[in-house]
């Protein structure tokens, strides 16, 4: 049964939820934007649900991630990297990330919905024809080539991470173990051990570093073999025995495999990464080229999520809003030893409207607006005993999150001025 914590189901005005114990499905209205329903799958840190955009009725998949588990398990960087990677990828054969939302305890990835489900499920019902295997392999290589051209290495390509849309076209998903060029060490290699045992490349087993592009190509070879054969090329009930087979490259193609396909598989599953076939060579392979149509890419619609009120609040900032995590930089110059009070609100008003209102109140109270930086406003009382900083970040296209940090020192005339003067004038803006 999905974890629905009290503050999500009761105190959040943007999210209401009902969990159905019998099926694990979740009936939830998320930020007034999505009706969330059937559970599609789950893992150690996330659950994926089918949902519909309330406005367009378009189907989407929503991946829910528990922030407490991420922080406790030390996986914050993984989440940051996955979202950063998915933001930069816009390809017909890669699952698209539409937006990232959050409550106090969860992060929600709103993604393209792949109606056809996992490619793995289809293969378990029987091997594919050579032509169909070629079609999916061509789509896979197009997506992987696109990723590599943008410095992204998936590192966990397998049938379970390949989905099908309503047209039965392939969609690559799950970039949780992906790496980017920035992670490459001075030796030119990646060193993090990762991947699924049956798909892992032999050079990873050596623990000496590896080329991210070459291990993705190896995994593509495993996938192509399974599509054609209906079973894995390297398998054994004993994991170490299977690893020995992988390291030695001991596999045999089924008798129905054509000569052209057999030659390509031999080059894909070359245990030497230096001589293993490259993406460019795959594109020029006679078997691969048959019926191949180059994917036409639209102008990239990549959206950069920066720390600005005019842009979307990204998941890294959302994570930092968890209780107990330090929010640095917003109130650095506040003096004194008094506690800084923090309040947060959600609003459908624009950042400009909210800033204008707080400036009007400050002027009426004879206070100084000493700093305006993007979506931040700083206000100081005449005697220096009241300081307020308001930061506004966009949460969705329609909603902003407003964070107010203030310090009120002593018991003078400025005490409680936030609650008495500012908050009443801003309350109409808050949802």
Q: Give the residue extent of every domain in the chain.
A: 6-112, 127-289, 338-429
Residue 173 has pLDDT above 80, yes or no: yes
Q: Which residues contact 228 (CB under 8 A, 6 or more apart)?
A: 127, 128, 130, 133, 253, 254, 257, 261
Average pLDDT of the residues in 331-336:
38
Query: pLDDT > 70: what percent of the chain?
Result: 74
Domain boundaries 127-289, corresponding CATH code: 1.10.510.10
Q: What pLDDT is recorded for position 194?
A: 59
Mean pLDDT rounded to a whole number for the chain: 77
Residue 227 has pLDDT above 90, yes or no: yes
Distance of CA 132 to the CA centre of its chain: 30
φ, ψ of residue 49 to 5 degrees: the values are -120, 150
Q: Mind listing the pLDDT tens digit for each residue in 253-283? A: 999 999 999 999 999 999 999 999 999 999 9
Point out the residues that are catalytic.
156
The CATH number of domain 338-429, selected from 3.20.20.10, 3.40.50.300, 3.30.420.40, 3.30.310.80: 3.30.310.80
What's the CATH fold of domain 6-112? Phosphorylase Kinase; domain 1 (3.30.200)
Q: What pLDDT is recorded for position 167?
A: 92
Average pLDDT of the residues in 355-371:
83
Residue 190 has pLDDT above 70, yes or no: no
Give the dihedral sign, CA 416/418/424/425.
Answer: positive
**Residue corresponding to tokens 């109409």:** 428
- To the question of pTM greater than 0.85 for the whole model, the response is no
Out of 174-183, 215-224, 369-378, least confident range: 174-183
Q: What pLDDT is recorded for position 140?
A: 97
Out of 116-130, 142-156, 260-274, 374-388, least confident range: 374-388
Average pLDDT of the residues in 157-168:
93
């Amino acid at each position: 049964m999905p974890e629905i914590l009290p503050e999500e189901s009761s105190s959040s005005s943007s999210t209401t939820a009902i969990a159905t114990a019998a099926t694990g499905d979740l009936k939830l209205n998320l930020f007034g934007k999505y009706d969330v329903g059937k559970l599609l799958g789950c893992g150690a840190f996330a659950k994926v649900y089918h949902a519909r955009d309330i406005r367009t009725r378009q189907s989407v998949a929503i991946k829910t991630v528990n922030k407490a588990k991420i922080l406790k398990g030390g996986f914050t960087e993984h989440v940051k990297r996955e979202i950063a990677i998915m933001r930069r990828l816009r390809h017909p054969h890669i699952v698209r990330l539409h937006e990232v939302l959050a409550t106090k305890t969860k992060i929600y990835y709103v993604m393209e919905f792949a109606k056809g489900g996992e490619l793995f499920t289809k293969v378990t019902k029987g091997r594919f024809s050579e032509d169909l295997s070629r079609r999916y392999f061509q789509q896979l290589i197009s997506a992987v080539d696109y990723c590599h051209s943008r410095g992204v290495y998936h590192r966990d390509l397998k049938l379970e991470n390949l989905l099908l849309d309503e047209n039965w076209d392939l969609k690559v998903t799950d970039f949780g173990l992906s790496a980017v060029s920035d992670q490459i060490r001075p030796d030119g290699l990646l060193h993090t051990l990762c991947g699924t045992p049956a798909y892992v490349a032999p050079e990873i087993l050596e623990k000496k570093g590896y080329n991210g592009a070459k291990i993705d190509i190896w995994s593509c070879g495993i996938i192509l073999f399974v599509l054609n054969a209906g079973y894995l090329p390297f398998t054994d009930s004993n994991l170490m025995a299977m690893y020995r087979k992988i390291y030695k490259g001991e596999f045999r193609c089924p008798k129905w495999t054509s000569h052209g396909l057999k030659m390509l598989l031999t080059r894909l599953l070359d245990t030497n990464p230096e001589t293993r076939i490259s993406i460019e060579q795959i594109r020029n392979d006679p078997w691969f080229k048959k019926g191949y149509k180059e994917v036409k890419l639209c102008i990239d619609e990549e959206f950069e999520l920066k720390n600005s009120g005019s842009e979307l609040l990204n998941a890294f900032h959302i994570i930092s809003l968890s209780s107990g995590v330090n929010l640095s930089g917003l109130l650095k110059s506040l003096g004194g030893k008094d506690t800084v009070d923090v309040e947060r609100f959600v609003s459908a008003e624009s950042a400009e409207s909210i800033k204008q209102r707080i400036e009007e109140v400050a002027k009426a109270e004879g206070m100084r607006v000493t700093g305006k930086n993007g979506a931040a406003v700083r206000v100081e009382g005449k005697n220096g005993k009241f300081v307020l900083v308001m930061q506004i970040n966009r949460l969705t296209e329609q909603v902003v999150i407003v964070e107010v940090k203030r310090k009120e020192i002593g018991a003078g005339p400025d005490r409680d001025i936030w609650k008495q003067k500012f908050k009443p004038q801003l309350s109409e803006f808050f949802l």
